[in-house]
Structure 1
C-alpha cells in the first residue's frame, strides 16, 4: 500500500510542479505527518526533490527530473489503453497525437505490462454510437475544441427546434461532452450556462477575446445536474399499466409473480407513450390515463380492420 502511495506522490509532483504537504495529504487521503514521512522516504531513495517554507513553499522535483512509468499496475496499464478512443481523438483533431502518446506509453512500460496493454487493444473495442441512425456530422468540432482549449470566446450560428430556428450568439466554451456518440458543448452566454448540440452548430467564428471560467464550475458536476434536470422535465406524467412476464422483462420491471404485473411507468407525453407501448404488443395493457388507453384502443381497432382478410 505504501509503495503505491509513494509512486502516486512522485507522479503528482511530476505532473503539477509544486504542492504543499496539505495539498498532497488531501490528494492521497492521508495525514500531513504521513506525507512528511513519505517525502523523507523518497529522498532517502535518491529522488531529487526539495521543500521550501513560506507562502510560495511546498515540495517539488528538481527541474528536468522525470520518472518512468514503472509504478503502473497491470490493471492501470490496461485501463489507460482501454480508455483511449481513436475515433473520438480523430474527431477532435488529436488522432496522430493519441497514437504517438500510446507509443510512448507502451515504450515506457515493462515487458509484462506492455503485453497486457497490447491484449486490451486486440480484444476490446468501444463503439459509442447506437445502432439506429448514422453518426452525427460535426464539421465544426475541431474549431469548438480549439476554443475550449484556448479559453477563447466564439460566435456560434446555431440551429434549434423552436423559433427563431437559427440564432447567432457569442458564447464562452467551457467544455465538451461526448454522450452516446453525440457531442455537446457546455458554454456560458448571455442567459447563463447552456448546452448546445455540436451537430446543430452551423458556423463558428473564433474571437481573440479570452475568458475565465467562473469559480466553482465543474464540468462533470454540471453535466450530472443537467441530466437530472433533463430527466425530470422529460417524464412529467405517468401511466398505470399491466404487464405480462415478457413485458415486464422488456421494460426492466420486476414481476410480482407468474402472471400479470401492475405498475406505474413514467412517461414523457401521450404521443411518446403511445408509440412505446405499441412496441410491446399484447404484453401490455394500459389502464390509465384514459386518453392514452383510448388512443391505443383506436390504433388496435384500425390495425384489426386493416388486416382482416
Structure 2
C-alpha cells in the first residue's frame, strides 16, 4: 500500500506542481504526518523535491524532473484504452491526436501490457449513440470546445422548446458533457449556470473576453446534480399498475412469482404515460389514476373497433 501511495504522491507533484502537505493528505486520504514521512522517504530514495514554509509554501519537484513509470498493471492498461472514445474525439477534432497518442502509449508499454491493450481494442467497442439515431449534427461543437479550452466567452443564438423559441445570449462556457450520444454545454450566463444542447445552437460568435471559472465549480458534480434535478422534475406523479412477468421485465420492475405483479411507477404526465404504457400492450393493466386508466381503455376500444372493421 505504501509503495502505491508514494507513486501517487510523486505523480501528483509531477502533474500539479506545488502542493501543500494538507492538500496531499486530502488527495491521498491520509494524515499530514503520514505525508511528511512519505516525502522524507522519496527524498531518501533520490527524488529531487523540496519544501518551502509559509503561505505560499508547499512541496514541489525540482524543475525539469520527470519520472518514467512502467508499473502499469494489465487492468490499468486495458482500462486506459477502453476509456478512449474515438467518436467523441473525432467530434471534438481530436481524432488524429488520439490515434497518435495511443500509438505512442502502446509503444512505451512493455510487450505483455501492449498485448493486453491490443486485445481490448479488438474485443470491445464503445458506441455512445442510441439505437434509433446516429447522434446529433453538431457543426458548432469544435468552436464550443475551443472556447471551453481557452476560457473565452461566446455569444450563442440558440433554439429552445418554449417561447421565444430563438434567443441570443452571451455565455461563459465552463465544460462539455457527452450524454447518450448527445453533446451538452454547461455555461454561465445571465440566468446563472445553464445547460445547452450543442445541436440546438444556430449560430456561435466567439469573443475575445476571457473569464475565470469559480474555484468551487466541479463539472462532474454539477452534472450529477443537474441529472438528479431533471429526473425529479420529470417524474411528478405515479401510477398503480399490474404487470405480467414479461411486462415487469420490459419496465425494469422485479417480478413477484410467475403471475401478475402490482407496483407503483413514476410518471412524467398522463399524456406521456399513456403513450409509454400502450407499448406494453396486454402485459400491463393500469389501476390508477382513473384518468390514465380511462384514456388507455378508450384507446383500446378504438383500436378494437378499427381492427374489427
TM-score range (shorter-chain normalised) is over 0.9
Q: What's the counterpart of residue 92 of structure 2?
A: 92
Q: What's the counterpart of residue 11 of structure 1?
A: 11
Deviations 1:35-54 (CA, angstroms, capped at 9, x unpaired)? 22222222222222222223
Q: What's the counterpart of residue 164 of structure 1?
A: 164
User: What displacement does 1:124 show?
Assistant: 0.9
Say yes or no: does 1:248 pair with 2:267. Answer: no
Q: What's the counterpart of residue 21 of structure 2?
A: 21
Deviations 1:85-133 (CA, angstroms, capped at 9, x unpaired)? 1110111111122122222322332222222112111111100010012
Q: How many Å separate the matches in 2 of 1:27 and 1:200?
A: 39
TM-score where L is the length of structure 1:
0.96
User: What displacement does 1:150 show?
Assistant: 0.9
Q: Which moved more, 1:173-182 or 1:61-70?
A: 61-70
TM-score where L is the length of structure 2:
0.96
Q: What's the counterpart of residue 286 of structure 1?
A: 286
User: What displacement does 1:20 show?
Assistant: 1.8
Say yes or no: does 1:196 pair with 2:196. Answer: yes
Q: How many Å separate the matches in 1 of 2:72 and 2:27?
A: 18
User: What displacement does 1:193 show?
Assistant: 0.9
Regions of 4+ moved over 4 Å: none
Contact map agreement 1:69 1:108 (CA 8 A) in 2? no
Q: What's the counterpart of residue 58 of structure 1?
A: 58
User: What displacement does 1:186 show?
Assistant: 0.7
Inter-CA distance 248–304: structure 2 relative to 1 (3 Å threshold): same
Inter-CA distance 11–215: structure 2 relative to 1 (3 Å threshold): closer
Q: How many Å separate the matches in 2 of 1:126 and 1:256?
A: 34
User: What displacement does 1:172 show?
Assistant: 0.7
Structure 2, unaligned runs of 5 or more: none
Q: Which moved more, 1:28-37 or 1:49-58?
A: 49-58
**Secondary structure of the structure 1 residue equivalent to 2:64:** coil
Q: How many Å separate the matches in 2 of 1:68 and 1:102?
A: 17
